[in-house]
């Protein structure tokens, strides 16, 4: 148990569906991150939030829409995804000043049909 | 951030020490060496970090060469549960903002009976 909880753990969706991934951290951190890990590829940073403000968007397509309503919660809204978006989506959190020690959730395994 | 080079894979017998090398010949004076690991289909887990002195915690030891151009992560008594991909990351610490971690391909450690 890392203190970072992601739901759902598995998700299958069609290309026309809209779904959301949820991340919650119970560590009192103030920075949150979304990463994507495709099969046999390194983790790729998608978004970074500092105190609820988005500070990094790593050229992510607009079909991925993040939301950070407070420092403890992070969402990734998905719509009109493509099969190549199938991947493990990981959420992490950290203290702003200690951002190099990040705590990761177990991830959501997404399959787009 | 300085680039790191790690062997793609290593094997280790259970109960023996696992020594995982990392080369970071372009490391700057203010960059730390961080180690994470990722057990199959889970989120990465922070292990240890250091600047120039050797470090030890309950999980592992980190040995950094005097010139800081390479380091070794040591798992003193590897178990089957240590089978994972190990990532060496070089990064400035405590930047005052949320930090993005750049994960490479890491070393896949297989612990065998």
pLDDT tens for A8-48 read: 999 999 988 899 999 999 999 999 999 999 988 899 999 99
Residues of A in contact with B94 (CB under 8 A): 97-98, 100
Does the distance separating the beta carbons of A106 and B93 come in below 8 Å? no
Taking CA–CA distances from A90, the nearest residue in chain B reads B43
Write out the two tokens for B3.
Answer: 């680039």
The number of C-beta contacts closer than 8 angstroms across A and B is 77
Residue A21 contacts by C-beta under 8 Å, 6 or more apart in sequence? A6, A7, A8, A11, A75, A76, A78, A89, A91, A108, A110
- A66–chain B Cβ distance below 8 A for any pair: no
How far apart, in Å, are the Cα atoms of B73 and each of A39, A88, A96, B23, B92? Answer: 26, 26, 26, 11, 19
Taking CA–CA distances from B44, the nearest residue in chain A reads A104
Find the mean pLDDT for residues A70-79. 95
User: When comparing pLDDT for B41 and B69, which is higher?
Assistant: B69
> Half-sphere exposure (CA, 13 Å, Cβ side) for B16?
13
For residue A17, give how far its alpha carbon lies from the nearest alpha carbon of chain B (Å).
25
Find the mean pLDDT for residues B65-83. 97
Q: Which one of A4, A31, A103 has the shortest CB-CB distance to B98? A: A31
> Half-sphere exposure (CA, 13 Å, Cβ side) for A106?
9
**Which of A54-58, B60-64, B94-98 has the lowest average pLDDT?**
B94-98
pLDDT per residue as tens digits for the range B90-102? 987 666 666 778 8
Confidence of residue A99 (pLDDT cuts 50, 70, 90): low
User: When comparing pLDDT for B50 and A100, which is higher?
Assistant: B50
Task: Please give the backbone phi and psi of residue B81, each rounded to the nearest 5 degrees, phi first.
Answer: -70, -10
pLDDT averaged over every residue in chain A: 92
Asked if omega into A8 is within 30° of 0 (cis), the reply is: yes
Residues of A in contact with B91 (CB under 8 A): 100
Task: Please give the backbone phi and psi of residue B99, each rounded to the nearest 5 degrees, phi first.
Answer: -105, 140
First-to-final CA distance of chain A: 31
Residues of B in contact with A9 (CB under 8 A): none
Write out the two tokens for B42.
Answer: 């889970």
B4 and B71 in contact (C-beta within 8 Å)? no
**What's the rounded Cα separation, in Å, for the pair B89 and A60?**
23
Task: Find, among A88, A106, A103, A109, the residue nearest to A36 by Cα.
Answer: A88
């Amino acid at each position: 148990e890392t203190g970072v909880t992601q739901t759902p753990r598995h998700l299958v969706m069609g290309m026309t569906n809209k779904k959301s991934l949820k991340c919650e951290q119970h560590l009192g951190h103030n920075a949150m991150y979304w990463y994507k890990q495709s099969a046999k590829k390194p983790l790729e940073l998608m978004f970074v939030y500092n105190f609820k403000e988005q500070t990094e968007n790593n050229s992510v397509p607009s079909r991925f829409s993040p939301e950070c309503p407070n420092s403890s919660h992070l969402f990734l809204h998905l719509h009109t995804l493509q099969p190549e978006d199938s991947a493990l989506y990981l959420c992490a959190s950290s203290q702003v000043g200690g951002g190099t020690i990040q705590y990761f959730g177990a991830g959501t395994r997404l399959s787009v049909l | 951030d300085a680039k790191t080079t790690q062997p793609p894979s290593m094997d280790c017998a259970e109960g023996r020490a696992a020594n995982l090398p990392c080369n970071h010949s372009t490391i700057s004076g203010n960059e730390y060496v961080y180690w994470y690991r990722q057990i199959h289909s889970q989120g990465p887990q922070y292990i240890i970090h250091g600047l120039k002195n050797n470090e030890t915690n309950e999980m592992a030891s980190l040995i950094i060469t005097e010139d800081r151009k390479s380091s070794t992560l040591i798992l003193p008594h590897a178990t089957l549960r240590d089978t994972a991909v190990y990532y060496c990351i070089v990064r400035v610490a405590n930047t005052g903002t949320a930090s993005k971690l750049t994960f490479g391909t890491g070393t896949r450690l297989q612990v065998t009976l």
